[in-house]
Amino acid sequence: MKNLLFPFLLFTTTVLNAQNPSLPLIPQPVSVQRGSGTYTLPKAAIIAYDGAEAGRVAEILTQKMSLPTGYAIKAQSGKTGAIQLKLNAAPNAQLGKEGYTLNVSPKGVVIAANDPAGLFYGAQTLLQLLPKEIEGKAVTQTAWIIPTVSITDYPRFGWRGVMLDVSRNFFPKEDVKRYIDQLARLKYNTFHWHLTDDNGWRIEIKALPKLTSVGAWRVPRSGHFGDRADPKPGEAATDGGFYTQDDIREIVRYAQERHVTIVPEIDVPGHSMAALAAYPELSCTKQAVTVNPGTPFSEWYGNGTFKMKVENTLNPSDENVYTFLDQVFTEVAALFPSPYIHVGGDECYKGYWAQDPGCQELMKKLNIRHVEDLQGYFMNRVEKILTAKGKKFLGWDEILEGGISPTATVMSWRGVKGGIEAAHLGHDVVMTPTTFAYLDYNQGEPTIDPPIYAGLRVSKSYSFEPVPEGVEAKYILGGQGNLWTEQIPNLRYAEYMSYPRVWALSEVYWSPKEAKNWEAFVPRLEAHFDRADVAGINYSKAVYDAIVKTTAKDGKLTLALESEVPGLDLFYTTDDTMPDDHSLKYAQPVVLPDGPITLRVVSYRSGKPIGHLITLKRAELERRAGQ
């Protein structure tokens, strides 16, 4: 009876929690029980802890709370304090390694967990229970009051990640640490670090110094990535940067203190132009190339196929390539404690392989007929290198092509199809599909934000279910969001593109599936807008913009407007006037007038404008009707 009752209580509690906007917690805990009254933080608060590992959590919490409160908060070993961090003497099986209990009474705060990671996550929840001013960087005069509450919480998935691409644009060490800190506050535990690609090699490899002296630098260029001019003869490569091995160690330690595992990615055999700029002899043609500064070096045909205009692929038939990779992975493995090393494997153009005599000879030796199968050979060689260094092999879903070992882990990005196939073959899978998790996509109306090739609204990210029907859940390690940075030159804009979608995905990966409720999530999201303002974190407000759709029939255009946020009023004009709350209010689909009209739409809430002004000419309205 007890086992039958628990799922019902869990469902009831989480649904009630999701409908209670008074606690703006993201991600939503498993169970929240509100009490009566509050606890006021004393000016000389002690954060008590038991054991050195709990002490590190106490120190981080002390640093976070001391500055905005101005209080003399102290972390010290012991069993009495305003805030107590306790490691369970007898492990609570329900909590696992990352779960915690958080109890706030009028007498104080107690966070308990089996493991320091759980204490850390409990501390993040505690910070969210405090007033938003706790996110500030200066002393603020406010009432430091915490609501009484009893929380039991633990994650749904073990892999909760975000990827940051630092090849397309280099992010300084302090920016990377700041971004990791933001992710840890949301209970992400994996930072996937895309360190190498065509546009820059960002990690020092002492045995191969040209990877950074040459491969980390490109000629300076401005303008839209992918449309830039080619390097000129003799032009100095001055744009870029890389992380020294001491930088890497510092960032890894910083992440470990916040219970974040860094998974490094060395992208091979394609996406290797920066490596080939340093060592062109590792290619098939052995021709000199330059680090790409964002020029159009490939042709895409709209069906997922493409052709490279410049070689960016390692030669799978050259033994020197595997010696090179062994040197690279020897040093990478020593720097990163992560059990995984990500080896890319995506978008590998095989055209140069098909024309190379060495590759043709290797195909005959291996008795394979299709050049695509050489990638399977290459990846199996790479996996053996990683295995010899005690690391697990992880790659994008293209690694399934040509065959991989049963121990390989697959990151499914081209939708969920690759993940489903991999799971059915018995592979562990991380779900990170473009359709839900690509953070470089436009967040709202595509005519407002800088252009990119696809869109992804926060409500769509929130709707993501990482375990597809018909797949055994045990094979789905979890999921992550991916931030490719072709159009993202700095951390400020990386934040804008990350949030609020990273907030939404944190709930997808941490919270119970039954607790998800978009309408209940919105007020918590808006509370985090306020907290981000205090913290100086950038974010997008595209969630407030109208969604403009059209259909065409019998030569007439019909307009349909929607909004992600419930309760918005949408006003529009087609008479070349600026819309406000006295304009036509949208209520149902409307047939638009003929002629060269311009549609203008604006959103209001409670009588005040809240979204961007959207302006669309007839040609764009007709284009949308044809989609």
Q: Which residues are known catalytic residues?
A: 197, 271, 347
Helices H, strands E: what count in the chain? Answer: 18, 29
* Rounded-to-integer distance, Cα 169 and Cα 192, Å: 16
Cα atoms in the 13 Å half-sphere on the side-chain side of 289: 32
The one-letter amino acid at 58:
A
Phi, psi of 475, deg, nearest 5: -85, -10
Contact 85, 47 (CB under 8 A): yes
Write the burial class of residue 209 (CB in 10 Å: 0-12 exposed, 13-18 middle, 19+ buried).
Answer: exposed
**Nearest-angstrom CA–CA distance, 624 and 68:** 49
Q: Which pair of tokens denotes residue 603? A: 């959103």
- Measure Cα distances from 64 to 73, 128, 256, 350, 581 in Å: 10, 12, 17, 51, 43
Computed on alpha carbons and rounded to an integer, the radius of gyration of the chain in Å comes to: 26
Structure token digits, residue 453: 């090739």
Residue 226's CB is within 10 A of a number of other CB atoms, namely 15
Listing DSSP states for 208-248 in one string gives -THHHHTTTEE----SSTTSPPPPPTT----EE--B-HHHH
Q: Which of 409, 450, 453 is nearest to 432 (CA)?
A: 409
Measure the CA–CA gap between 113 and 94, rounded to whole angstroms: 10
Distances (CA, A) of 492 to 193, 295, 488, 536: 18, 24, 9, 9
Distances (CA, A) of 159 to 111, 187, 434, 477, 618: 23, 11, 18, 5, 46
Cα angle: 322, vertex 323, 325; to 5 degrees: 60
Token output for 266: 């060395």
As beta bridge partners, residue 584 has: 572
Dig out the tokens for 464 from the structure.
């993501």
What is the spatial distance between Cα 237 and Cα 276, in angstroms, rounded to a whole number? 15
Strands 569-573 and 46-49, sheet pairing: unpaired
